[in-house]
A and B are shown apart, each in its own frame.
Chain A
């Protein structure tokens, strides 16, 4: 085998491995029965610190000569790290964020017990760390959702901007970005790689785009020149974006045929917890806040076309009803 062949083989293996980088998954069911303090303030502090750093950097030079989109790009650069996103990694490590699992011992247990624990060793999902669960504004979610919000949100925002420049109105541009988001989740960021089409990921992607749109492109942008200096006109608040739809115990993912049998067996172990008073109370709170989102409407259309499996069959309630003798 020549050097070039070896190199090509190496690159192919590395590219295959890179695909796994998008295979970060979480299991919010595992957090049931485990108390979690709200981490909204900590996440907000981190993001606002990053935004203020961009504003300070701009004001240290010649603020009048910078476009808002330049600050936007600088902020995006601070947010990105291939596969793992800055705030996501920070939330996985910072003592300011209450999460479960939070210690090495708990994490080893999580790796054994979580939804994806009953898979074969070569499963791409198991090559990466399971995302811990945090609580934001009363909603439990995996830290991978923060990665979707800040990282995929950038990609959707870019597509949104490109369509606006091509003459689309805001609604058309947003619809185009959402369709692209669904496409990525059906292919290289979801169903084709990890066997999971996460509707929670789509919600986070969409809200991430909304956040980036608000930095510069709205009537009242978050970044604006006031008295000759760039100013953060209002602080970022993650609670403005997180909804119960981000929680995959509430809005179940759609699983690929290969993955589903093993997931189903694990899901059945959570059935007794549906009667837990704390879980019931949380689901009642979710029901009161639940709305039909743009992504839900889009996914429903695709399901109706027969291109995606009906998500209802993957819900815990459905699985538990089927499992009853």
Chain B
């Protein structure tokens, strides 16, 4: 059955996302995330706010991951009557996993964005202006040009998307204390999405 869209139909809509975490973890993580979300995110003029999970996607060429695809979820609060079917502002916590031909990354951090869902899916595929600062854990593999190929890094990533073009820069450090040579890695990527 087609679900009607638009103002006043929020109660009829399916959940924005079913999430990517196991139910037990979600039970612990969500209250912590929402407690940490500033109260300013709630706009009393538009009525009571509710917890939302908005999925994000990103495809990019990055170093050292090379061709990579990421999926994530923004945990945020939003007035119940506002949806991201049309342009909406979001402030919240972004959890993102990325897999590429030469590495994968798990990142988590704060984000502020203006965007909207695409025409077919309730996924934020139209990020018009978005910023994020995230802690990230990176593991290289496969086609990696690093020596050795399989290394693990942890660090900070700054991400920016404008008009759907995504740019990210990260500074990371190899977690292996015995690694010879420089343990620092400056990475980055350019692509589509957020």
- Which A residues contact B (CB, under 8 angstroms)? 3, 6-7, 9-11, 13-14, 17-18, 20-21, 45-46, 49, 81-84, 89-90, 92-96, 101-105, 107-108, 124, 127-129, 132
Name which of B49-57, B83-91, B101-109 contacts chain A: B83-91
Chain A neighbourhood of B88, CB < 8 A: 89, 92-93
Q: Roughly how many angstroms separate A64 CA and B120 CA in the complex, as a whole number?
A: 55
Pair B6/A20 contact, Cβ less than 8 Å: no
Pair B86/A10 contact, Cβ less than 8 Å: no
Pair A129/B167 contact, Cβ less than 8 Å: no
Pair B160/A84 contact, Cβ less than 8 Å: no
24 contacts between A and B (CB under 8 A): A6-B63, A6-B188, A6-B190, A9-B190, A10-B167, A10-B188, A13-B165, A14-B165, A17-B165, A18-B162, A20-B163, A49-B45, A82-B129, A89-B87, A93-B87, A94-B45, A94-B46, A95-B46, A103-B6, A104-B85, A104-B119, A105-B6, A127-B163, A128-B163
Within 8 A of A (CB), among B147-194: 160, 162-165, 167, 169, 186, 188-190
B89–chain A nearest beta-carbon distance, Å? 5
A238–chain B nearest beta-carbon distance, Å? 15
Pair A104/B162 contact, Cβ less than 8 Å: no
Pair A89/B85 contact, Cβ less than 8 Å: no
Chain A neighbourhood of B47, CB < 8 A: 95
B136–chain A nearest beta-carbon distance, Å? 17
Pair A129/B116 contact, Cβ less than 8 Å: yes
Select which of A45, A82, A129 is within 8 A of B45 by beta carbon: A45
Select which of A90, A95, A101 is within 8 A of B89 by beta carbon: A90
B 64-79 to A, binary, CB cutoff 8 A, 1 in contact else 0: 0000000000000001
Chain A neighbourhood of B116, CB < 8 A: 129
B160 (CB) vs chain A CBs: closest residue: A14
Pair A84/B114 contact, Cβ less than 8 Å: yes
A144–chain B nearest beta-carbon distance, Å? 11
> B117 interface residue, CB < 8 Å from A?
yes
Select which of B5, B112, B169, B186 is within 8 A of A104 by beta carbon: B5
A124 (CB) vs chain B CBs: closest residue: B163
B162 (CB) vs chain A CBs: closest residue: A17
Pair B85/A129 contact, Cβ less than 8 Å: no
Pair A3/B63 contact, Cβ less than 8 Å: yes
> B126 interface residue, CB < 8 Å from A?
yes
Q: Roughly how many angstroms separate A307 CA and B189 CA in the complex, as a whole number?
A: 42
Chain A neighbourhood of B128, CB < 8 A: 21, 83-84, 128-129
Q: Roughly how many angstroms separate A11 CA and B188 CA in the complex, as a whole number?
A: 11
Within 8 A of A (CB), among B29-60: 43, 45-47
Select which of B6, B89, B186, B190 is within 8 A of A102 by beta carbon: B6
Pair B82/A81 contact, Cβ less than 8 Å: no
The 3 A-B pairs with the shortest beta carbon distances in the complex, nearest first, are: A103-B6, A104-B85, A127-B163
Known contacts A95-B82, A103-B6, A104-B6; is-contact A13 B167 (Cβ 8 Å)? yes
Pair B82/A107 contact, Cβ less than 8 Å: no
> B14 interface residue, CB < 8 Å from A?
no
B141–chain A nearest beta-carbon distance, Å? 20
Chain A neighbourhood of B5, CB < 8 A: 103-105
Q: Roughly how many angstroms separate A20 CA and B164 CA in the complex, as a whole number?
A: 11
A83–chain B nearest beta-carbon distance, Å? 5
Chain A neighbourhood of B188, CB < 8 A: 3, 6-7, 10
